[in-house]
Structures are given as C-alpha cells and as structure tokens.
Amino acid sequence: PVFATPDEPLALTAWVYRPPGAPFLLGDSTGAGWPRLVNRVDAAAFWTELGRAGLPVELRLEPGPAAYATDWPALAMGPERHRGYALQWFSLAAALLVLFICFGIHSARETRHALTRHPD
C-alpha cells in the first residue's frame, strides 16, 4: 500500500484499557511461530515473548491526526443481559414442569377412567 508519512512530529493520545473482571480463556495460547491466535492481550507476556521492553498494559489509541482507525469494540455486557437469559431459561423450565404435571394428571385420569369402565 502507498501512504504518506508526515514530516513533523505528531502527538498520540491513548488510554489504558483494563478488561472488566477475569478473562474467559479457551485454552493455552502458547505455541511456536507467528501469527499466533491469542484469547486476550497480556501486554507483559507479549513484551517478554518479543524480547523487548514496553508498557505492561494495553493502550487504546484515541482518534486524532496521527491515529489509525480506532473503532474499538465496546465490551460492555452488564449483568442485566445475564439476568435476562436466566429469566428466559427458568421460565422455560417452569413451563415444561407445568406441562409435565398437567399431562401427568391428564394421563392418570384417563387411566383411572379406563380402569373404572373396564375393571378386568
């Protein structure tokens, strides 16, 4: 690709990103060679792997004249969504329990009715 590099110094503005809570890891991401799939950014381990010095945190660049596209995804899944899923699944379980009981009672009544009509 062709791009123009400015001659004057430019200032970068960034903020420290700290992920909310403990990460959900799919497995050990250590392996040989690059490119390597990683589940999360661990800046300290990254710099150690590269054999270089760097900040032990993840920085996210703010938009500006020296910035590239910074459309970072917002990872904001609050507890409301989890409660919504829990309510949905518990409601489904309750509905299935009610259906199980209703069909069980209906089946018992039919069996009792059949036994009273034909007592063989």
The whole-angstrom separation of Cα 3 and Cα 39 is: 31
Element (H, E) at 60: strand 58-61
Do the beta carbons of residue 72 and residue 19 sit within 8 Å?
A: no
Give 112's pLDDT tier (boundaries 50, 70, 90): confident
Number of H-type helices and E-type strands within the chain:
2, 2
The answer, yes or no, to whether residue 13 has pLDDT greater than 70, is yes
Place of tokens 């990460």: 23
Do the beta carbons of residue 16 and residue 58 sit within 8 Å?
A: yes
pLDDT tens track for 84-111: 889 999 999 999 999 999 999 988 888 8
Mean pLDDT of 13-25: 76
Q: Which long-range contacts (CB under 8 A, 24 or more apart) does 5-10 make?
A: 6/66, 10/64, 10/65, 10/66
Place of tokens 């060679």: 33
pLDDT of residue 66: 75
Place of tokens 């110094």: 9
pLDDT of residue 76: 67
Do the beta carbons of residue 57 and residue 16 sit within 8 Å?
A: yes
Element (H, E) at 61: strand 58-61
